[in-house]
Structure 1
Amino acid sequence: MRRLILPLLFGLCGAAVLIGLGVWQLQRLEWKETVLAAMAARIGGPPIPLPETPEKTRDNYQTVTLTGRFLPGHLDVMSGQKLVGPGFRVIAPFETEEGRRVMVDRGFVPDAERKTPRTGAGVTEISGNLLWPDDADSYTPAPNLTENLWFARDVVTMAKALNTEPVLIVAFTDTGEGVSPVPVDTMSVPNNHFQYAMTWFSLALVWLGMTVFWLRRMALRIN
């Protein structure tokens, strides 16, 4: 029977590790749900005036309202909509009544309408959410400045190109000219921790089952 002790310990330790990973994922799930709830509360909260010095940690997803006018020029960021197909997000410079220049993500236009001239409609009020997207990574191509084609919403780089503050507001009000708003929501934030937890727990059950199977075979051989 001593020959069974080491395999038994190995099996129990392996199962304990897998169960521990499952529990860790459940803890991550609780954390993510808290984060998503805070995001949803901020997204759906009453709008406030644009902060003087917006900060990502404090103001990300904050609902804001601002009055001013769109300035000439815009950036086209590749995007897509399930029911429409490929297209672009229109990122435009916006000058507030106080003279601040920020960026507004006006929304989505289909590929066929990309070249349509858009100049804004005079003084307008916009409501939206402050956002610091994490679209760009080390694999994101550099923008094609000749074609005004961008592959991610890199706030700092876009601000330099448009000569604005590094501040992006994703509009949920309609800014017109055929641009469809794409409001910020929590649906785009992945939350797969429950599935991960179930995977680890399932593997733990399989591990325990295989451990019992091999222990029984070893016991029969010993006897």
Structure 2
Amino acid sequence: MKRWPLIPTIFVAGAMLVMIGLGIWQLRRMDEKNALLAEYAAAATKPPIAWPAVPVKHDAPLFRRATGFCTEVTGWSASAGRNAKGEAGWAHIAACRTGGAEGPGMQVDMGWSRDAANPAWTGGEVTGIVAPDTRHIIRLISQTPAPGLEPSQPPAMDDIPNNHLAYAVQWFFFAAVAGVIYALALRRRKQAPGADAQR
């Protein structure tokens, strides 16, 4: 009777447990993300807030209406964007000072155009919707575009990825595949002639 290969079995079982654990963790993350998306969906019914002096990634007020004051435009950037009609073009984002002694200031999407040239807007009070920003955590999508621009497309719930269920299924699948492959390997080992004699 062939002995059970202890070390390989421990290794494969440990790997399977890790993959199953990662799948369970992704399911928990999915529940957390669903709760967060529900909070974002309810943001439209909440009163406006003042622009946060120092945005915090884990508590960003996404999809809330907010108001800030741009005391000075320190720079412009044009990124691919869409207008309220869904047409492709350029979103014009102003980097603003907000008058505070500390903090990163405020990024404001002041509108859309087909031309990447910077608008002539120099600052002032801005009201709009808080949207995610990969570099600055959040930006404000102004409801009133700068002169010569059209309103940019407001942020949508589809901008927030929620792939945790797919990731969980992948980890469970990997664990199942590892188990099947190891079971087949054990079966082949059992059927292999002279396996015991070679040890």
Report the TM range for the smaller structure's normalisation: 0.5 to 0.7
Cα deviations across residues 65-103 of structure 1 (Å, max 9, x unaligned)?
A: 57x9x88867432311376555242427699xxxxx976
Shift in alpha-carbon separation, 1:55–1:220, aligned structure 2, 3 A = same
Letter in 1 for 2:55: K
Q: Which moved more, 1:11-20 or 1:196-205?
A: 11-20
Equivalent residue in structure 2 for 1:212, among 183, 191, 198: 183
Shift in alpha-carbon separation, 1:10–1:55, aligned structure 2, 3 A = closer
- For 1:105, the equivalent position in structure 2 comes to 109
- For 2:29, the equivalent position in structure 1 comes to 28
Cα deviations across residues 164-191 of structure 1 (Å, max 9, x unaligned)?
A: xxx9532245556233323233322222
- For 2:55, the equivalent position in structure 1 comes to 56
Shift in alpha-carbon separation, 1:64–1:126, aligned structure 2, 3 A = same
Shift in alpha-carbon separation, 1:177–1:46, aligned structure 2, 3 A = farther
Q: Distance in 2 between matches of 1:114 and 1:16?
A: 52
What count of residue pairs does the alignment treat as equivalent?
Answer: 180
SS in 1 for 2:158: coil
Assess if the C-alpha contact under 8 Å between 2:107 and 2:140 holds in 1. yes
- For 2:92, the equivalent position in structure 1 comes to 89
Assess if the C-alpha contact under 8 Å between 1:45 and 1:63 holds in 2. no
Equivalent residue in structure 1 for 2:174, among 190, 203, 220: 203
- For 1:4, the equivalent position in structure 2 comes to 4
Assess if the C-alpha contact under 8 Å between 1:94 and 1:103 holds in 2. no
Superposition TM-score, scaled by structure 1 size: 0.61
Letter in 1 for 2:28: Q
- For 1:145, the equivalent position in structure 2 comes to none
Residues 1:181 and 2:152 are matched in the alignment: yes
Shift in alpha-carbon separation, 1:173–1:45, aligned structure 2, 3 A = farther
Query: Runs of 5+ in structure 2 lacking a partner?
Result: 99-104
Query: Runs of 5+ in structure 1 lacking a partner?
Result: 96-100, 137-153, 156-166
Q: Distance in 1 between matches of 2:26 and 2:10?
A: 24
SS in 2 for 1:4: coil
SS in 2 for 1:41: helix
Shift in alpha-carbon separation, 1:94–1:104, aligned structure 2, 3 A = farther
Which residues of 2 match residues 129-148 of structure 1 at below 5 A? Answer: 129-130=129-130, 133-136=132-135
Q: Distance in 1 between matches of 2:126 and 2:144?
A: 6
Assess if the C-alpha contact under 8 Å between 2:129 and 2:140 holds in 1. yes
Shift in alpha-carbon separation, 1:50–1:5, aligned structure 2, 3 A = same
Q: Greater relative contact order (Cα 8 A, min sep 6): structure 1 or 2?
A: 1
Cα deviations across residues 121-177 of structure 1 (Å, max 9, x unaligned)?
A: xx9x8641345x5433xxxxxxxxxxxxxxxxx59xxxxxxxxxxx95322455562
Assess if the C-alpha contact under 8 Å between 1:129 and 1:170 holds in 2. yes
Superposition TM-score, scaled by structure 2 size: 0.66
- RMSD of aligned alpha carbons: 3.9
